[in-house]
């Protein structure tokens, strides 16, 4: 096991549910409550000075429903270390913002809020970043249809369901021939 995973396990004990090492990629699965503490430790003690990305997963049907993913990178000390920290979030829970650790977290967290509807404690600015202000849905959730839902924001904007016209036109991973893999009109209902 890598030095970093060992150090983290030693430091946080039960707050770390699992560690995964896969082809040199280190992943820490943490509890939601301790996540901020672990991230702060990674920045201050382990030289992870660069927050590459924050993303989120919707595991619809599972409990808790959402999962947060933080990608860290050690840029300053030249070690090129990469670390991923994950934790689960229930639908009615809020996540502690890391904008106090990395300023860049602001846009990432706004995107997570906009697309997935996860709210953050300590994020001052819950404005939409990709959809417009007043849009009522969080479109990357699994139970949101690709075609969208009709919305109406009087005097500002309205949307209608997009005509899928036999789509969605997506590639299908398969070992069959190219014509099976190519994006074609397929029925997904």
166-170: list long-range contacts, CB under 8 Å, 24+ apart: none
- The single residue among 49, 57, 139, 141 that binds other proteins, judged by CB under 8 A, is 139
- For the chain, the first-to-last Cα distance in angstroms comes to 45
Residues numbered 157 to 186 that lie near other proteins (CB under 8 A) are 157, 159-160, 162-165, 167-169
In the stretch 91-130, what mask flags binding to other proteins with x, by CB under 8 A?
---------------------------------------x
Minimum distance, C-beta of residue 27 to other proteins, in the bound complex (Å) = 30
Q: Tokens in use for 78?
A: 């030249």
Rg (CA), the chain: 20
Count of CA atoms in the C-beta half-sphere (13 A) of 108? 18
Q: How far is the CB of 155 from other proteins (least distance, A)?
A: 11
**Identity of the residue, 36 or 110, whose beta carbon is nearer to other proteins in the bound complex:** 110
Residue with tokens 């947060």: 68
The least CB distance from residue 51 to other proteins, in Å, is 25
Strands (E), the chain: 16-22, 25-30, 50-58, 66-73, 82-89, 95-96, 120-121, 151-153, 157-159
Q: How far is the CB of 182 from other proteins (least distance, A)?
A: 13
Phi, psi angle pair for 42, to nearest 5°: -60, -40
Q: Does 60 bind other proteins (CB under 8 A)?
A: no
Closest C-alpha among 85, 107, 80 to residue 41: 85
Name the β-bridge partners of 87: 68
Q: Min. distance of Cβ 171 from other proteins in angstroms?
A: 13
Exactly one of 3, 103, 147, 172 binds other proteins (CB under 8 A); that residue is 147
Q: Which is nearer to other proteins, 12 or 135 (CB)?
A: 135
Interaction site with other proteins (CB under 8 A) = 130-132, 137, 139, 144-149, 156-157, 159-160, 162-165, 167-169
């Amino acid at each position: 096991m890598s030095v970093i995973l060992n150090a983290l396990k030693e430091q946080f004990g039960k707050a770390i549910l699992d560690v995964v090492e896969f082809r040199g990629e280190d992943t820490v699965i943490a509890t939601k409550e301790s996540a901020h503490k672990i991230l702060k430790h990674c920045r201050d003690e382990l030289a992870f000075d660069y927050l590459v990305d924050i993303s989120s997963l919707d595991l619809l049907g599972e409990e808790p429903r959402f999962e947060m993913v933080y990608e860290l990178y050690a840029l300053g000390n030249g070690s090129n270390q990469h670390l991923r920290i994950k934790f689960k979030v229930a639908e009615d829970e809020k996540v502690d913002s890391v904008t106090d650790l990395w300023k860049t977290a602001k846009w990432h967290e706004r995107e997570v809020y906009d697309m997935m509807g996860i709210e953050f404690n300590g994020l001052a600015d819950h404005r939409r970043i990709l959809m417009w202000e007043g849009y009522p849905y969080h479109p990357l959730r699994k139970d949101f249809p690709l075609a969208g839902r009709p919305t109406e924001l009087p005097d500002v904007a309205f949307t209608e369901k997009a005509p899928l016209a036999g789509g969605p036109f997506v590639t299908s991973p398969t070992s069959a021939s190219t014509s099976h893999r190519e994006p074609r009109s397929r029925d997904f209902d």
